[in-house]
Each structure stands twice: as structure tokens, then as C-alpha cells.
Amino acid sequence: MAIAYREWREGDDLALLEIWGGPETVQAGQFRGTLAPSGNSPWRRCIVAEDVVDGVAIPVAAAVVHEASLHPERLWAYVEVARDHRRAGLGSTLLTMLRHEAAQAPSGVSKLRCKVEPGTPGAAFAEAAGLAPIQRSRLVVVDPAPLKLPVFGDGSESAATDQVEDLATGSVELSDVVGRYYTAVHGWDSPGELSVAAVQRLFLDELSGAHGAIVLRAPKASAFGHGIAASRKGRLEGFAISYAQGIPGADADGAGADASAGPTEVFLGHELKLDTDQARAAVRDLLALIAYQHPVMLELDDAMTALRAVVEPLLESGKAHVQGSETLVVSDAA
């Protein structure tokens, strides 16, 4: 082999696709979309390796490193080499070149991260390169009626209405809880400070794919102290945001839930001020409600301790299953 290295050029995507074929993993398919010409807004460096045969240069590998506006403490990196050119040092050379570029990133951030699927060549390459797992993520599909429906207050409809509420995704109250929760469960790879506007853009507006939200509240509280009739809404304790068909079961009669359709994607979380038992109860009650008639799909990170405590017993009992393969986020050592 006579290997030459250069910057990414227009048309490399099509040339590499012919050599690579389809992506070997979901993560590879996602990262291929980040291969693009180098630039500074946002900062990105992309390198192509060519095998020169009889004077003809054929792209066989590529690598990219780029900054991220969300989770800015590390740079995303990706390397892919054609199957028949592996174990020849191309991947290691490209990674070394990426590290050289990363050392010059304008943000001053040089630590790399990537996503891999356990047991794949990509995971083995990452491990050999010194990238260690910092988080595990699974897509979990929860079957209908996995949990007994909760009883709120005295069991009356009014008590349930006081605590379970359809809430507009533009709610500042909802944005505050969602933002703090996301930041807390991503302490392993901080998203930085999230403003209400950023939370709206990332998780709650139409462009994010959000279709609706229901929240779980504490029982009504009195605005005037003990002994005075409660009139003020209880604090928000948990939230479920849907990204597909709308949250099934949110309507009193369950209208709109289509059991023949695929699972609804849901982001499920809780107020951080709750203690461990309260957080688990809030997550459990919401999951029982939204999955009562229709399957839901949750992204379950190991850092989501309350959600794991509720969902993992469902996995063990067969009332939920992991869809696809696990994803590991791997990173340079601290």
C-alpha cells in the first residue's frame, strides 16, 4: 500500500460509501454524517486516507474531530477504515493526526470522545487507543401495562387531575426541571450551563420533535399555611415528554393511542430535589400512566439511577426489552 493523507474534499462521501458499504453499527451511521470539509464555524478537522494504486488515488479511510455546542468539555472524534485496509496502522495514524489537530482547537479542549457498540471492531480499536467507557446507554422498549396504575390522593378523579397534568412544552416551569435533570444525569460529560431557551430548543419545541408533555405534581398546597384550604398547584415532581405520536394515555379516555403503531419515544425524568424514594415513585407512577395502553421507548443511561431502579426489574421480568445494542460513550482518561 502507498497511503497518502489529505483534507476532506467534495465527493469523498460518495467515493468512501462505495468502498465502505453500509455502516456496521448505528453509531457509525450517525458519525458518517459528521464527515465534512474542515472549517472553523463550528470548528472541525476532517482527514482522508488514500491508497495510491498505479497512480490512482482511492479514498479508503477518513477521520473527523469537531467541537460540540452541547457537552463542550470534550471533542467528538470518529475514525473509519475500509475492511480490507484494517490492521495496517491507518486507523492509528489517523487518530494521531486527529489528536494533533485537537491540540490546536480554539476552545482549548483536546480530550476526545466517541460512541461505540460493545464487541465491535470499533470498540476494540477505541480500547487499544486508550479510550475508556464513561457511560452506557440503552434504548428500552416498555410493554403496555407493565406496572399497576397509581392511586392519587383519595382516589377521586379530582385528586388525579390535581396531580397529573398536560403541560404546554413552552412552560418555563417544565423547562427549568428538564434542564436541571439533564445536566444532573450528564455530570459525567457536562452539557455546560443550559438556559431556558436552550432547553426549549434542544428538548421542547417543535424542531426538537417534541409533541407533548405530561407532568406529575405533588398534592395541592395551601398558599396561606396549615389549616387553610389548598389551592396552589403542587410542585412538579416528574415529567414525560413524547417525541412521536404524543403521549398515550394522557387523555382521560386514552384516545389516539394506536396499539398497532411502534413505541412512542419518551424522555422521562424527575425533580432533583426529591429524595431517592420520591424520585423512584415519581418515575414509576409516570411510566405506569404513559405505558398503560401503548409501548414506550426510553433512552436509559446508567447515570439515570431512579429510572434504572424502575426499568431494570421490568427488563428482568420480560415486561421490557432492550432494542438494538448498547452504546458506550468512550473517552480519553481524565
All structural domains of the chain: 3-130 (3.40.630.30), 139-325 (3.40.630)
Residue 317 pLDDT: 97
Nearest to 6 by CA among 66, 34, 46: 46
**100-143: pLDDT as tens digits:** 999 999 999 999 999 999 999 999 999 999 999 999 999 999 99
* Residue, of 39 and 258, whose pLDDT is higher: 39
How high does pLDDT run on average in the chain? 90
Residue 299 pLDDT: 96
pTM of the model: 0.87
* Max Cα-Cα span within the chain: 90
Residue 224 pLDDT: 44
Nearest to 244 by CA among 115, 135, 141, 137: 141
Q: Tally DSSP H helices, then E strands, for the chain.
A: 9, 13
**195-243: pLDDT as tens digits:** 999 999 999 998 889 999 999 999 876 444 555 445 578 899 999 999 9
Kindly indicate the confidence band of residue 253, based on its pLDDT and cuts at 50, 70 and 90: very low
Distance of CA 68 to the CA centre of its chain: 14
- How far apart CA 85 and CA 51 sit, in angstroms, is 9
